[in-house]
Amino acid sequence: MREPDRGGRVAPAPVQAEVAFYCDGLRLAATVHRPAGPRPASGWPAVVVCNGFGASRELVVPEIADRIADAGMLALRFDYRGFGESEGRPHHLIPQEQVADARAAVTYLESRDDVDPGAIGLYGTSFGGGHVIALAGTDPRVRAVVSVVPVGDGSRWMRSLRRNWEWNAFRRRLREDRMRRIRTGESEWVDSDDIMIPDPHADAWHQEVIAQFPERKYSLPLETADRLLEYSPQAVVAHIAPRPLLLIHVLDDDLVPTDESEQLYAAAGEPKRLVLLPGTHHHDIYAGEPFEAVMSEAVPWLAGALGSRSHGTAAGADIRVDGG
């Protein structure tokens, strides 16, 4: 339900439309959230919204896209190849291919006559938070980036979830699977938790999601983890400057450590900003006060950087700990 403004008026909801675009010959399903009201003469500023690890476009990001559209920007959420309603081998998650899907989403927005092609930004959450950095660091068409609880380096992140002996054993499994793929063309499929080991809070959240979205219980190829070893948005984050970058992380994140955003921030050029939210776990950012805190930072940042008529300009560089 949409809240009334101070004058008691309820703003019109963004207009949603189901669309599709192609990447590597695969049809990718997507949803556009268009702002209510007349289109600017130059077209809407626009934002590609990238979801997290193994998530479809129906999980957590619809409300994010609505908030972006409420601020006068067109938003696009989409299903990565092999997930949701998109074509591709089911659940064959390769991070570099997901970055390519996001790049194709930018091209799709460029092709629309209601979008300003010079005002396209990215919003990514969790695994998607790394994707938007990897994309923006190699694609000058992107004008602004918001990255929330991101993975900055795949190898470092996977190691952070394991004790030393577990990491060494896991690396051996990946080497063996690499040899298997060379000989047979097939990877071993494992439970997704074998790759992304959930902490208790993340596991409880995941079980609630599975009850609503049974397809969230799935297997992944070990090739996913092998390709994560060479996945490093941090390696290109410096190339985003002078375009603005906002990083948001939670201090009690046991799934993707705060260090991931801190290292990205240290490696990035200006203008940049890092906001740290205390007392909050990884998936808490999708509801309630933590969600509102993220939106209050992210939406004005994007609107200012992309020139939305609803907001001013993006803030400068700083590190901020809310409530600390």
Instruction: Map out the domains of the chain as residue ranges.
Output: 15-153+228-321
Q: What is the mean pLDDT of residues 229-233?
A: 99
Q: Which two tokens stand for residue 102?
A: 């996001």
Rounded to an integer, what distance in angstroms lies between the CA atom of residue 182 and that of residue 174?
12
pLDDT at position 320 = 65
Q: What is the mean pLDDT of residues 155-167?
A: 98
Q: What is the mean pLDDT of residues 215-238?
A: 95
Nearest-CA neighbor of 295 among 55, 43, 60, 15? Answer: 60
Rounded to an integer, what distance in angstroms lies between the CA atom of residue 235 and that of residue 264?
9
pLDDT at position 7 = 46
Q: Between vectors from CA 52 to CA 49 and to CA 53, what angle results, nearest 5°?
A: 150
Confidence of residue 155 (pLDDT cuts 50, 70, 90): very high
Tokens 């949803």 label which residue?
Answer: 31
Instruction: Please state, rounded to an integer, the average pLDDT across all residues of the chain.
Output: 93
Tokens 């609630």 label which residue?
Answer: 208
Q: Which residues pair with 321 in a beta bridge?
A: 276
Confidence of residue 2 (pLDDT cuts 50, 70, 90): low
Task: Choose which CATH entry (1.10.3720.10, 3.20.20.370, 3.40.50.1820, 3.40.50.280) describes domain 15-153+228-321.
Answer: 3.40.50.1820
Neighbours of 316 (CB within 10 A): 10
pLDDT per position as a tens digit, 45-57: 999 999 999 999 9
Number of H helices and E strands in the chain, helices first, is: 10, 11
End-to-end alpha-carbon separation of the chain, Å? 32
Contact in structure between 79 and 56 (CB atoms under 8 Å):
yes
How far is Cα of residue 247 from the mean position of the Cα atoms in its chain?
A: 11
Nearest-CA neighbor of 161 among 102, 228, 107? Answer: 228
pLDDT at position 115 = 98
pLDDT at position 206 = 82
Confidence of residue 35 (pLDDT cuts 50, 70, 90): very high
pLDDT at position 309 = 55
Where are any strands of DSSP class E within the chain? 15-23, 26-34, 44-50, 74-78, 115-125, 142-148, 189-191, 219-221, 245-250, 272-277, 318-321
Rounded to an integer, what distance in angstroms lies between the CA atom of residue 241 and that of residue 169?
39
- Residue 23's alpha-carbon distances to 20, 51, 102, 105, 221, in angstroms, are 10, 17, 9, 9, 21
pLDDT per position as a tens digit, 253-311: 999 999 999 999 999 999 999 999 998 899 999 999 999 999 999 999 999 999 975 54
Query: In the predicted model, is pLDDT for residue 322 greater than 80?
Result: no
pLDDT at position 210 = 83
Higher per-residue pLDDT: 254 or 218: 254
Q: Which two tokens stand for residue 195?
A: 């790759």
Nearest-CA neighbor of 152 among 79, 253, 247? Answer: 247
Q: Which two tokens stand for residue 162?
A: 């394991």
pLDDT per position as a tens digit, 104-152: 999 999 999 999 999 999 999 999 999 999 999 999 999 999 999 999 9
- Percent of the chain exceeding pLDDT 90 equals 85
Query: In the predicted model, is pLDDT for residue 174 greater than 50?
Result: yes
pLDDT at position 213 = 76
DSSP string, 58-75: TSSHHHHHHHHHHTT-EE
Higher per-residue pLDDT: 9 or 63: 63
